[in-house]
């Protein structure tokens, strides 16, 4: 990570495109924001778009904009994200999911430095630095015909690889402590430390969801911690169980609402723990958890003591 930071600082002052590669949840957007923050464009906007989250037929309008009457429903003109990011950085997340047909249009825009809104009869220059990110193997996608080679070579002038959390050594300890401090502050809970036993359990777990998964685990741990410390029993069940020898399920391995504490928990604590148990079972999907619990999502956030978002 120190080498990555050094590289970010070296290339930040250029305007060449940057391709950030790394597993899902490894922090690619944070790297993109750091690159923007170190650049001469730091006072300009940082505009992000998830290419996988925009339907292919709307991607051109989303990025390039459109004029009134360009298509059904276009009652007014709309500037695209290239215009919105003028003077700053446009972050194209999950670019590997971009439809092949649109890749040719994006390539031409990057080559010409000019963009034409949908339905317009003239082009205009743009002043934007392009940073793209993907968790896919774009070289393999090229060979399979899923990604254009010419667009790939245009984007990979500088390539930054974000290592997964399992390769980042003591970063895990530092990130976990930072998340605990931030989450405790946001929720008003007094949680000040992570016990060595909890750290050992975190280190054993491979974190396939990377930094995002670690943050979610710490959010649960902060909610469960009752004496100012995060202990192994406060971690999600999948992390607690990881590395144990395979054996038949036993009653004592199943969920315990009071985690064998000597002090009997309050009803509020039991409710909070059950909510997190349900969240574990639905892989952290708060909408599904609210449905299982029979409450609204706003009520779920309120009972967890966190801001909605």
pLDDT digits (tens, 9 = 90+) for 272-283: 778 877 877 776
157 and 247 housed in the same domain: no
CATH of the domain at 11: 3.40.50.300
CATH of the domain at 197: 1.10.8.60
At 283, list the tokens: 């892989």
Task: State the pLDDT at residue 227.
Answer: 85
Q: pLDDT tens digit string along 169-214?
A: 888 999 999 999 999 988 888 888 999 999 999 999 999 999 999 9
Closest to 59 (Cα-Cα) out of 15, 24, 94, 21 = 94
Split at pLDDT 50, 70, 90, the class of 251 is very low
- Residues in contact with 201: Cβ distance below 8 Å, sequence separation at least 6, in sequence order: 232, 235, 239, 240, 242
Q: What is the reported pTM?
A: 0.72
User: Cβ distance 82 to 91 under 8 Å?
Assistant: no
**Domain extent at residue 61:** 2-163
User: Cβ distance 47 to 83 under 8 Å?
Assistant: no
**Phi/psi-derived region of residue 102, left when phi > 0, alpha when psi is between -120 and 50, beta in every other case:** alpha
Q: What is the C-alpha separation between 107 and 302, in angstroms, rounded?
A: 46
Task: State the pLDDT at residue 250.
Answer: 43
Rounded mean pLDDT, 96-121: 89
Domain end marker among 135, 163, 191: 163
User: Cβ distance 19 to 153 under 8 Å?
Assistant: no
Number of domains in the chain: 2
| Domain annotation covers residue 309 | no
- Structure-token match 């464009």, residue found: 41
262 and 221 housed in the same domain: yes
Question: Do strands 46-50 and 89-93 pair parallel, antiparallel, or not at all (unpaired)?
Answer: parallel
11 and 140 housed in the same domain: yes
Residue 107 pLDDT exceeds 60: yes
Q: Return the H-helix or E-strand segment holding 222.
A: helix 210-224
At 236, list the tokens: 């999600």
């Amino acid at each position: 990570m120190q080498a990555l930071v050094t590289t970010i600082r070296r290339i930040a002052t250029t305007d060449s495109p940057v391709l950030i590669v790394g597993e899902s949840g490894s922090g690619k957007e944070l790297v993109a924001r750091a690159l923007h923050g170190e650049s001469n464009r730091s006072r300009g906007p940082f505009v992000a778009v998830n290419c996988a989250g925009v339907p292919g037929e709307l991607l051109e309008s989303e990025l390039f904009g459109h004029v009134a009457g360009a298509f059904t429903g276009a009652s007014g003109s709309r500037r695209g994200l290239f215009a919105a990011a003028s003077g700053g950085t446009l972050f194209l997340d999950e670019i590997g999911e971009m439809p092949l047909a649109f890749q040719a249009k994006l390539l031409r825009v990057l080559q010409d430095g000019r963009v034409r809104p949908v339905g317009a009869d003239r082009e205009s220059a743009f002043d934007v630095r392009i940073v793209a990110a993907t968790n896919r193997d774009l070289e393999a996608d090229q060979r399979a015909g899923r990604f254009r080679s010419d667009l790939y070579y245009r984007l990979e002038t500088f390539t930054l690889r974000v290592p997964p959390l399992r390769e980042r050594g003591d970063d895990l300890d530092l990130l976990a402590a930072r998340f605990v401090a931030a989450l405790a502050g946001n929720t008003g809970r007094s949680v000040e430390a992570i016990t060595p036993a909890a750290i050992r359990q975190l280190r054993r777990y491979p974190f396939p969801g990377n930094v995002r998964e670690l943050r979610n685990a710490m959010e649960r741990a902060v909610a469960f911690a009752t004496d100012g410390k995060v202990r192994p029993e406060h971690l999600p069940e999948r992390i607690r169980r990881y590395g144990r020898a395979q054996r038949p399920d036993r009653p004592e391995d199943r969920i315990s609402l009071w985690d064998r504490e000597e002090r009997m928990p309050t009803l509020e604590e039991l409710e909070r723990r059950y909510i997190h148990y349900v969240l574990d079972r639905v892989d952290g999907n708060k909408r599904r958890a609210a449905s299982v619990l029979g409450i609204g999502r706003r009520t779920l956030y309120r009972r967890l003591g966190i801001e909605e978002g």
